[in-house]
Structure 1
Amino acid sequence: MRPLHRRTALSALALTLATAAGGAVVATAGERPGRPPADRTLLDTVRASGELRVCTTGDYRPFTHLDPATGEFTGIDVDMAADLAESLGAEAEFVPTTWAELLDDLTSDACDIAMGGVSVTLDRAQEAYFSVPYLVDGKAPIARCEDADRYRTLEDIDQPGVRVIVNPGGTNERFVNENIERATVVRHPDNTTIFEEIVAGRADVMITDGSETRYQETLHPELCAIAPDDPFTFAEKAYLLPRGDEEFRAYVDQWLHLALNDGTYDGYAAEWQNN
């Protein structure tokens, strides 16, 4: 059974007692609470166990998608996770999560890394590390093509009678909560079927990442991404890592730097652009 990755935070009193008792506890100046001991970095434990545990939501194509019929995950970041695991001599094990539970699952040691179109936010950065970003993105609308000209600005969208649909627990819901006051907000719990709600006429518009609007319009010819190259916000996507594990973060950053420059990421992304 793989060794558990635990975070240890000794109080000053415990450290004093351990030292007085002849213990071999050594404190490192400036060490972050929660930092794993140097000999327990995931860089070592993943290689020893042969398993990289990856939290992913499975509801955000093209980055992560869970096929309910087969139980298999696919997507750009699913492929990237497998590539990262292979570079460590391990295999990726995907741990299903939700946007509302993603950060808690990572910080509670349910997984070693979170991947799947995760947006960089300061709230998440307070609790975990981010890798270097791999994509610049931002919030943009998507609507039925015949209505696309009606929803080009936030002022256009935030009007009485407009139904704005949103999936709960992530940055989409936060954006809607902060910016939509007059329109009707429709909260839909399943991000894999949310776009069908717009097609069916049960909602009018969704505000999500521009990358997702581009992909969803290829799946649903009835829908049009609205100005995804000129989004309402600036955002970046990166991989979420346990806070304090400097060795693992440095490795993931170097692996990602190479993947972004040697064609690895572009190759996986191209496969989804053609799907």
Structure 2
Amino acid sequence: MIKRLSVAIAAAVLLFTALVLPPAQAQSVNQQLAAGSVLETIKKRGAIKVGMSTFVPWAMRDKNGELIGYEIDVAKQLAEDMKVKVEFVPTAWDGIIPALLAGKFDLIIGGMSITPERNLTVNFTQPYAHSGIQIVAHKEQAAGFKSLEDFDKPDVVLAVRRGATPATAAKRMLPKATLRQFDEDALALQEVLNGKAHAFITSTPTPAFEALKHPDKLFLPIPEPFMQGAEGFALRKGDPDALNFFNNWILLRQQDGWLKERHDYWFKTRDWAGQVVGE
């Protein structure tokens, strides 16, 4: 009888342990994750640090040297909704992910396309913008070019921004072409304007804007983007609370139309061009 009672008590203890301790441990883990979230850092600091890089019309300097653009509007509105200030950290594009991992800023809002390669290193939110990759070409150098096959030749020089998704797309889809990489979009474009490259490959709407600005030198050999992309905020891995918050912020700002309104202003009009030198 005593032996049976002991077995019953042991079974009850084991059952209690199985049912009670795991949830308690899970709650402890959840609390630790929440306390370590970048959201807590942002709230304590009273400011959100945003890594970004300048390229039209995502982020650029106006005539007074102030940052303007779609990304800038997004980051400012995000900060306002979080009731904190925003601090922009301009960073070279090819070093922006290492800088995020090193803790130089809290997240990247920089027109970063979601790719499997990047996603192995950082987490992405759901897309807050959708862009495409398009070609703007020199009228003389690329005369008669009408397809991707026309550009996929060893004697064709393509200018791209180093480390950007269009550069990766050009390598994959135009492997025979000669790729010339630059640290800034403006430098890559200038190479084409100078007649030293056949075309500049970059994200929409830049190709269309540049063709309109330089009708004597540039044209769109392929009217539509040859590749579609989706852009998300990039975060350090291991922070589910931050990922959840930013995903829901994007969802709500999509639902109320704010993201579309801002995107249409920067990508479908040139009303802002007078604020920027050279635009």
Unaligned 5+ segments in structure 2 are 1-23, 273-279
Q: Provide Cα deviations, 1:211-235, integer angstroms capped at 9, x if missing partner.
A: 3323433444443344453x33332
Comparing 82-91 and 42-51, the one that deviates more: 42-51
- Contact between 1:142 and 1:148, CA under 8 Å: does it hold in 2? no
Q: Provide Cα deviations, 1:184-207, integer angstroms capped at 9, x if missing partner.
A: 322233323321221221211122
Q: How far is the alpha carbon of 1:114 from its aligned partner?
A: 0.4
Q: Provide Cα deviations, 1:146-178, integer angstroms capped at 9, x if missing partner.
A: 677733322110124322112212222222333
- Contact between 1:77 and 1:117, CA under 8 Å: does it hold in 2? yes
Residue aligning to 2:39? 43
**Whole-Å Cα distance in 2 between the matches of residues 57 and 27 of structure 1?**
42
Read off the aligned partner of 2:47 and give its amino acid letter. E
- Contact between 1:148 and 1:224, CA under 8 Å: does it hold in 2? no
**Whole-Å Cα distance in 2 between the matches of residues 218 and 105 of structure 1?**
36
| Identity rate, percent | 27
Residue aligning to 1:119? 113
Residue aligning to 2:9? none
- Contact between 1:55 and 1:102, CA under 8 Å: does it hold in 2? yes
Within-5 A mapping of 1:84-123: 84-123=78-117
Which secondary structure state, in structure 1, belongs to the residue aligned with residue 227 of structure 2?
coil
Greater C-alpha radius of gyration: 2
Structure 1 ranges of 4+ moved more than 4 A? 26-29, 145-149
Within the alignment, does 1:76 sit opposite 2:58 as a pair? no
The equivalent position to 1:223 in structure 2, one of 218, 223, 246, is 218
Q: How far is the alpha carbon of 1:145 from its aligned partner?
A: 4.9
Residue aligning to 1:16? none
- Contact between 2:92 and 2:183, CA under 8 Å: does it hold in 1? no
**Whole-Å Cα distance in 1 between the matches of residues 169 and 211 of structure 2?**
21
TM-score norm. by structure 2 comes to 0.77
Read off the aligned partner of 1:164 and give its amino acid letter. L
Say what the alpha-carbon RMSD is for the aligned residues: 2.8
Residue aligning to 1:192? 186
Q: How far is the alpha carbon of 1:260 from its aligned partner?
A: 1.9
| Count, aligned residues | 244
**Whole-Å Cα distance in 1 between the matches of residues 239 and 174 of structure 2?**
38
